[in-house]
Amino acid sequence: MIAVIDYGVGNLFSLLSSLNYVGLNTKLTNDIEEIKNAKGIILPGVGAFRDAIGNLEKYRLKEILINEAKNGKPFLGICLGMQMLFEKSYEYGEYEGLGLINGTVEEIKKYIPENSDLKIPHMGWNSLIINERFKDDKILKDVDNNEYVYYVHSYFAKTDMKNIVAYSEYGTKIPGIVKNENVYGMQFHPEKSGDIGLKLLKNWGELIK
């Protein structure tokens, strides 16, 4: 069973439906024992970083997620769930993340040219450029360079290229898929990204023994 973490982040119906469609056995849960016994963990998320990390602490989930990830359990953060994998966020303040990947979460508009006509939030389809060092990573099985995925966000991860599996260009490099050993993150919404999103979810599921 894969534990999809339930901590009050809203409607997860489309994500759960997509996971079910690709054959992954999942359960929406915030039960600590179920999370410990799960074969993998998915941390979804929409909304503000402060509220999300606060809810993890409220449900006493933060420490267990860190421990399970550090013990080698396959872990996937999606959208805001990906952002929480990093050390710190500067979204409307300064907040500590899970610290599973080195880097910070910062406002996109601070890193795009002032005269740019790019709009924030970064919303819609954008191509995913594969980092050459990760071209053989199992998460990218049967995934071609420049496939399109669907984003909706105003903040992004600032991290080293050694952590970036694939990225999109939007006035700056937007990490689309990140990785640190057994921990992966996807900034875009795989459940809204058509066949390529389903393929990526399936590939992640195949990493689970």
Q: Which residues are known to be catalytic? A: 79, 189, 191
- Contact (CB, 8 A) for 159 and 178: yes
Whether cis (ω within 30° of 0) applies to the bond prior to 113 is no
Concatenated DSSP letters for the chain? -EEEE-SS----HHHHHHHHHTT--EEEE--HHHHHH-SEEEE---S-HHHHHHHHHHTT-HHHHHHHHHTT--EEEETHHHHTTEEEE-TTS-EE---SEEEEEEEGGGGS-TT----SSEEEEEEEEEPGGGTT-GGGTT--TTEEEEEEESEEEE--GGGEEEEEESSSEEEEEEEETTEEEESS-GGGSHHHHHHHHHHHHTT--
